[in-house]
C-alpha cells in the first residue's frame, strides 16, 4: 500500500514491530515486552497524526489510491446490486456507475463516481472524471428511480467533470445543469455520501440531495486547491494555503451548512478498513431510508428545495449606505 | 466574420476567468480608447478598424466593419433592448460578505469594495422588471466587469429571486449571462448557487413560464453549467465564448491547440446547444417575438 508522507513515521514503527516479531520467532527469544511498547507508541502516534491533519493532508487521504471506491462499497453495503449501463444517446461512461440495489429490505437506485485503482482501470474510468454521457446516464437512472419509487443513493468521488474537447462538444455544461434542475424535482429522497473527492460541478451533478454526508477525510470544493492556487494566487505551490482558505474538509462543509454530518472513518483512514467504512455508511443510509419512508413525495421534494434555497451568505440593506 | 479572432488581443478575444484573473491588474477597458483628446475614437479588437465612438454606440457597440460585439454594461443592454425608461431595478442593495475571511493576493473584502466603486453596482448582477414592446418581462443582467461576473451568494440569490418573480407574476424571464463561473472566494457556497438557481428554474418550468437565456461573452464554468444553459430558448451573442472548462484548461489537458472558433456561439449552435445566434441589433425584436409566441399567459 502506498504510504503518504505524514504516515512515514508511523510506518517506520510498524516496520520495527514486524522486524522484532521476526527476530523473536527466528531466535526463539521473548521480545513481547518491547513489541508491546512500540505498538503502544504507534497507536498513540497514529491518534496524534490523524487528529492534527492539515487540509492538504486530508486531501491526500481523500485521494489515496486504496481509498474505498463506489463499486467496492456498493458490494459491501448492498444486499443486492445490479450494475446497468449507458445514457441511451451516445455511450456508456465508465466514470459514473449505477443500478438498482437492495439494502435491508429497501429498493434503492445507486449512482456513484468510479475512479479506479490500478493504472489500467484509472485510464478506463478516466480517473473518475465524467463526460456528459455520464451525467445523462445518472439522470436516466434517477428518473427511473422516481417512477418506481426507489430512493436514490449517490457516492461522490471525482476530481471534477472532464475538461476535454469532446466533453465540451457534447455539452458538459448542459448535462450538469440539467441534472441540477431535474434533481430538484425528484419526489424520492436522495442521500449522498462524499466518499473521497467532491470536485466542483462534477460532484454536484449527482448531489442535489436531501441528505449530504461527508466521510471524515473526504473533501468538497468549488475548485481543486491546485487550480485555485494557480488562478487566484498565481503560484501552484500555494496549493496548501488554498486548501486551507477554501474550507474543503468534512468539518468545514458541515460548518457551512452544506453537509448534514461527518461519518467517522476507521483510525488511519478508510483505506485501512473497507468493511468498517461500509458498515458506517450502511447504518447511516438505513436510518434515513426508514425516516423517509414516512414522508410524502411532495414533502421530500419541498424539503430538498428549501435546503438548497437557503444556501448563501450575504447582507442586505434598504437604502444605499 | 466572427469566430476567426486570432488577431484579437488576449484581453477581449478569448477571456475566461483564468485570463481575467491573470489580466486583472492590466488595463481592462470595455473598449480600448485611443489617446486622442475627447475619447472620440476606439479601435476594434477584432479587425483593428478605428471606429467613431458615437457611431459605434448607435450601432449597439457592434463593429460596423467586422461585426465584433464589444462587451457592454448592464445599463447599455437595458438602453438597447427595453422600452424607454421601463426597467425598474429591484433588490439592489444585496451585497457580498467575506464570510470565509478569504485572502489570496488581496482580501476578498477589498476586492468587493474595489469592484463596487469601479462598476457602481453592488455585485455582478442587476435584476428587475422591464417592458419589451409593451409586454412585462422579468430581467436579470450580469456584469462581467464586476469580478469577472463570478457567481457567489449574491448572484445566486438575485437570480433565484428574479426567477421567483417570474413564477409568481407569470411573466417571461430573460437572463443575460456574462460570467467566468463560480466565485472561488466564497468556497463551497458559491458552488451551491449552481444548484440553488437551477432548482428555482425547475419550479419555474412547473408553472409553464418561458425562460430565455441570452448567453453573452464570456459565459463559463459554474454559470454555464447551471442557469445559462437551462433556457427554454438559449440565444448566443455572436462570437461569445461559452464553455464549461475554459480553452486554456482544455489545451493543458489534451496538450494540443483547439480549432478556431471552438466554444464560440456559432460552434455551440452547430453542436445543438443553442437555439440561435442573434446579432445585438436584432435582439430586441427577436426577444419580443419569442415572448409573444411562447408565453401561454399572454392576455
Ligand atoms: Zn471590427
Q: Is A309 in contact with B187 (Cβ distance < 8 A)?
A: no
Confidence of residue B6 (pLDDT cuts 50, 70, 90): very low
DSSP state of B230: G
Total count of residues recorded for chain A: 321
B143 with B19, same domain: the answer is no
A221 with A264, same domain: the answer is yes
B208 with B148, same domain: the answer is yes
pTM given for the model:
0.92
Confidence of residue B240 (pLDDT cuts 50, 70, 90): very high
- Count CB-CB contacts under 10 A for residue A260: 18
Q: Which of A1-10, A249-258, A279-288, B203-212 has the lowest mean pLDDT?
A: A1-10
Residue A321 lies in a domain: no
* Distances in whole angstroms, Cα of residue B77 to Cα of each of A145, B74, B276, B283: 44, 5, 19, 10
Task: Give chain B's mean pLDDT.
Answer: 89
Output A114-117 pairs: Cβ under 8 A, ≥24 positions apart: A114/A69, A114/A70, A114/A71, A114/A157, A115/A69, A115/A157, A115/A158, A115/A196, A116/A69, A117/A65, A117/A66, A117/A69
Cβ atoms of A233 and A187 closer than 8 Å: no
Pairs of CB atoms within 8 A across A/B: 203
A39 with A64, same domain: the answer is no
Q: Which of A25-29, B21-25, B59-63, B72-76 has the lowest mean pLDDT?
A: B21-25
SS3 of B141, please?
strand
Residue B1 lies in a domain: no
A150 with A35, same domain: the answer is no
How many whole angstroms from its chain centre is CA A119?
Answer: 20
Residue where the block lists cell 448542459 = A174
Sheet of B125-132: strand order equals B88-90, B125-132, B135-142, B173-179, B211-219, B233-236, B276-277
Sign of CA dihedral B4, B10, B15, B17: positive
Give tens-digit pLDDT for A41-72: 999 998 888 888 999 999 999 999 999 999 99
Confidence of residue A234 (pLDDT cuts 50, 70, 90): confident
Contacts of B249 in chain A (CB under 8 A): 163
Residue B162, pLDDT > 80, answer yes
Q: Return the pLDDT at B252.
A: 86
SS3 of B219, please?
strand
Q: Which of A316-320, B198-202, B281-285 has the lowest mean pLDDT?
A: A316-320
A18 with A142, same domain: the answer is no
Q: Which of A31-45, B2-16, B24-38, B124-138 has the lowest mean pLDDT?
A: B2-16
Q: Is A232 in contact with B263 (Cβ distance < 8 A)?
A: no
B190 with B240, same domain: the answer is yes
Domain C-terminal end among B71, B100, B118: B71
Residue A233, pLDDT > 80, answer yes
B98 with B211, same domain: the answer is yes
* Distances in whole angstroms, Cα of residue A77 to Cα of each of A41, A94, B60: 34, 20, 60
Number of domains in chain A: 2
Domain C-terminal end among B24, B44, B71: B71
B150 with B248, same domain: the answer is yes
A100 with A151, same domain: the answer is yes
Cβ atoms of A45 and A10 closer than 8 Å: yes
Cβ atoms of B60 and B280 closer than 8 Å: yes
Cβ atoms of B138 and B177 closer than 8 Å: no
Give B171-209 as a DSSP string. Answer: --EEEEEEE-SB-GGGHHHHHHHHHHHHHHHHHHHHTT-
How far is A125 from A136, CA to CA, in rounded Å?
A: 16
Q: Return the pLDDT at B40.
A: 87
Indicate which CATH number applies to the domain containing A258.
3.90.226.10
B151 with B121, same domain: the answer is yes
B197 with B118, same domain: the answer is yes
Question: Which of B153, B205, B242 has the CB atom closest to A313's CB atom?
Answer: B153
Domain C-terminal end among A17, A32, A52: A52
Question: Which of A165, A182, A313 has the CB atom closest to B189's CB atom?
Answer: A313
Q: Which domain holds residue A17?
A: 5-52
Give tens-digit pLDDT for A301-313: 999 999 999 999 9
How far is A61 from A77, CA to CA, in rounded Å?
A: 21
Q: Return the pLDDT at B23.
A: 56
Number of domains in chain B: 2
Q: Return the pLDDT at B2.
A: 35
Q: Which helix (H) or strand (E) holds B77?
A: helix B74-81
Give tens-digit pLDDT for A119-139: 999 999 999 999 999 999 999
Asked if A247 has any chain B CB less than 8 Å from its own CB, the reply is yes
Indicate which CATH number applies to the domain containing B190.
3.90.226.10
Residue B6 lies in a domain: no
User: Best of B121, B175, B185, B191 to disrupt the A interface by mutation (most A CBs within 10 Å)?
Assistant: B191
Question: Cα(A108) to centroid of ligand 1, in Å?
Answer: 57
Roughly what angle, to the nearest 10 degrees, separates helices A172-183 and A132-147? 20
Residue B273 lies in a domain: yes
B283 with B206, same domain: the answer is yes
Residue B17, pLDDT > 80, answer no
A145 with A17, same domain: the answer is no
Residue B8 lies in a domain: no
Contacts (Cβ under 8 Å, ≥6 apart) of B193? A311, A312, B151, B152, B153, B155, B156, B157, B159, B182, B222, B226
Mean pLDDT of A228-239: 87
Q: Return the pLDDT at A52.
A: 87
Q: Return the pLDDT at B33.
A: 53
A286 with A234, same domain: the answer is yes
B53 with B152, same domain: the answer is no
Q: Which domain holds residue B87?
A: 82-294
B57 with B91, same domain: the answer is no
Task: Give chain A's mean pLDDT.
Answer: 95
The distance between the two most distant Cα atoms of chain B, rounded to a whole number of Å, is 55
Residue A314 lies in a domain: no
DSSP state of B259: P
A224 with A245, same domain: the answer is yes
Cβ atoms of A217 and A270 closer than 8 Å: yes
A19 with A108, same domain: the answer is no
Phi, psi of A131, deg, nearest 5: -95, 175
Confidence of residue B26 (pLDDT cuts 50, 70, 90): very low
Domain C-terminal end among B47, B71, B95: B71
For chain A, percent of residues with pLDDT exceeding 70: 99
DSSP state of B16: -
Q: Return the pLDDT at B9.
A: 34
Residue B89 lies in a domain: yes
Give tens-digit pLDDT for B36-51: 555 789 999 899 999 9
Question: Cα(B6) to centroid of ligand 1, in Å?
Answer: 13
Residue B10, pLDDT > 60, answer no
How far is B156 from B94, CA to CA, in rounded Å?
A: 11
- ipTM summary value: 0.95
Confidence of residue B32 (pLDDT cuts 50, 70, 90): low
A198 with A228, same domain: the answer is yes
A221 with A297, same domain: the answer is yes
Contacts of A201 in chain B (CB under 8 A): 182, 191, 194, 221-222, 225, 244
How far is B10 from B76, CA to CA, in rounded Å?
A: 24
Question: Cα(B51) to centroid of ligand 1, in Å?
Answer: 8
How many whole angstroms from its chain centre is CA A251?
Answer: 14
Give tens-digit pLDDT for B242-287: 999 999 889 988 888 899 999 999 999 999 999 999 999 999 999 9
Residue B9 lies in a domain: no
Residue B19 lies in a domain: yes
Contacts of A177 in chain B (CB under 8 A): 194, 198, 224-230
B48 with B90, same domain: the answer is no
Give A254-316 as a DSSP string. Answer: HHTTSSSEEEP--TT-GGG-HHHHHHHHHHHHHHHHHHHHTS-HHHHHHHHHHHHHT---EEE
Pairing type for strands A314-316 and B94-96 reads: antiparallel
Give the cell for residue B165: 418573480
How far is B79 from A235, CA to CA, in rounded Å?
A: 41
Contacts of B124 in chain A (CB under 8 A): none
Which residues of B, range 254-283, sit inside 8 Å of A by Cβ? 254, 258, 262-263, 271-273
Contacts of A317 in chain B (CB under 8 A): 93, 95
Residue A286 lies in a domain: yes
Residue B27, pLDDT > 50, answer no
B161 with B63, same domain: the answer is no
A231 with A213, same domain: the answer is yes
Residue where the block lists cell 454555464 = B224
Residue A163 lies in a domain: yes
SS3 of A134, please?
helix
Give the cell for residue B138: 422579468
Cβ atoms of A59 and A219 closer than 8 Å: yes
Sign of CA dihedral A196, A200, A206, A212: positive
Domain C-terminal end among A52, A70, A86: A52
Amino acid at each position: 500500500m502506498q504510504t503518504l508522507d505524514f504516515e512515514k513515521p508511523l510506518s517506520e514503527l510498524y516496520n520495527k514491530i514486524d522486524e522484532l516479531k521476526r527476530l523473536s520467532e527466528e531466535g526463539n527469544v521473548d521480545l513481547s515486552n518491547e513489541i508491546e511498547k512500540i505498538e503502544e507508541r504507534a497507536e498513540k502516534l497514529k491518534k496524534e497524526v490523524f487528529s492534527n491533519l492539515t487540509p492538504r493532508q486530508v486531501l491526500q487521504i481523500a485521494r489515496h489510491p486504496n481509498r474505498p471506491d463506489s463499486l467496492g462499497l456498493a458490494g459491501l453495503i448492498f444486499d443486492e446490486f445490479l450494475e446497468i449501463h449507458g445514457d441511451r444517446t451516445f455511450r456508456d461512461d465508465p466514470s459514473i456507475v449505477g443500478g438498482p440495489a437492495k439494502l435491508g429490505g429497501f429498493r434503492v437506485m445507486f449512482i456513484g463516481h468510479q475512479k479506479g485503482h490500478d493504472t489500467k482501470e484509472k485510464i478506463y474510468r478516466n480517473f473518475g472524471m465524467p463526460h456528459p454521457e455520464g451525467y445523462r446516464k445518472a439522470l436516466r437512472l434517477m428518473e427511473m428511480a422516481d417512477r418506481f419509487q426507489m430512493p436514490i443513493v449517490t457516492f461522490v468521488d471525482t476530481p471534477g467533470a472532464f475538461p476535454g474537447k469532446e466533453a465540451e462538444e457534447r455539452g458538459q455544461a448542459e448535462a450538469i445543469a440539467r441534472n441540477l434542475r431535474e434533481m430538484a424535482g425528484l419526489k424520492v429522497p436522495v442521500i449522498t455520501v462524499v466518499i473521497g473527492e467532491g470536485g466542483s460541478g462534477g460532484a454536484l451533478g449527482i448531489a442535489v440531495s436531501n441528505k449530504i454526508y461527508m466521510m471524515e477525510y473526504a473533501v468538497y470544493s468549488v475548485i481543486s486547491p491546485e487550480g485555485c492556487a494557480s488562478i487566484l494566487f498565481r503560484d501552484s505551490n500555494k496549493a496548501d494555503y488554498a486548501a486551507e482558505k477554501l474550507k474543503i474538509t468534512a468539518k468545514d462543509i458541515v460548518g457551512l451548512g452544506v453537509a448534514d454530518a461527518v461519518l467517522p472513518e476507521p483510525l488511519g483512514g478508510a483505506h485501512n478498513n473497507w468493511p468498517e467504512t461500509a458498515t458506517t455508511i450502511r447504518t447511516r443510509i438505513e436510518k434515513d431510508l426508514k425516516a423517509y419512508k414516512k414522508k410524502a413525495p411532495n414533502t421530500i421534494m419541498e424539503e430538498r428545495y428549501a435546503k438548497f434555497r437557503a444556501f448563501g451568505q450575504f447582507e442586505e440593506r434598504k437604502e444605499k449606505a | 466574420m466572427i469566430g476567426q479572432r486570432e488577431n484579437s488581443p488576449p484581453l477581449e478575444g478569448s477571456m475566461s476567468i483564468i485570463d481575467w484573473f491573470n489580466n486583472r491588474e492590466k488595463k481592462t477597458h470595455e473598449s480600448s480608447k485611443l489617446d486622442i483628446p475627447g475619447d472620440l475614437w476606439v479601435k476594434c479588437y477584432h479587425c483593428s478598424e478605428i471606429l467613431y465612438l458615437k457611431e459605434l454606440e448607435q450601432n449597439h457597440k457592434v463593429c460596423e466593419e467586422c461585426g465584433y460585439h464589444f462587451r457592454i454594461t448592464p445599463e447599455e443592454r437595458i438602453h438597447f433592448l427595453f422600452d424607454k425608461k421601463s426597467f425598474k431595478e429591484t433588490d439592489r442593495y444585496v451585497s457580498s460578505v467575506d464570510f470565509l475571511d478569504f485572502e489570496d493576493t488581496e482580501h476578498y473584502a477589498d476586492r468587493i469594495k474595489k469592484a463596487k466603486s469601479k462598476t457602481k453596482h453592488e455585485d455582478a448582477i442587476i435584476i428587475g422588471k422591464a417592458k419589451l414592446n409593451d409586454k412585462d418581462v422579468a430581467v436579470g443582467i450580469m456584469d462581467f466587469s464586476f469580478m469577472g461576473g463570478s457567481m457567489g451568494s449574491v448572484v445566486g440569490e438575485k437570480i433565484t429571486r428574479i426567477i421567483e418573480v417570474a413564477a409568481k407574476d407569470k411573466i417571461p424571464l430573460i437572463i443575460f449571462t456574462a460570467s467566468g463561473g463560480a466565485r472561488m472566494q466564497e468556497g463551497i457556497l458559491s458552488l451551491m448557487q449552481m444548484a440553488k438557481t437551477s432548482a428555482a428554474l425547475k419550479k419555474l418550468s412547473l408553472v409553464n413560464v418561458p425562460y430565455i437565456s441570452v448567453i453573452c461573452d464570456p459565459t463559463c464554468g459554474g454559470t454555464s453549467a447551471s442557469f445559462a444553459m437551462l433556457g427554454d430558448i438559449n440565444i448566443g451573442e455572436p462570437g461569445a465564448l461559452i464553455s464549461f472548462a475554459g480553452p486554456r484548461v482544455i489545451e493543458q489537458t489534451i496538450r494540443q491547440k483547439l480549432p478556431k472558433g471552438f466554444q464560440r456561439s456559432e460552434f455551440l449552435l452547430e453542436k445543438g446547444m443553442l437555439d440561435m445566434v442573434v446579432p445585438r441589433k436584432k435582439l430586441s425584436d427577436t426577444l419580443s417575438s419569442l415572448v409573444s409566441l411562447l408565453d401561454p399567459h399572454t392576455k
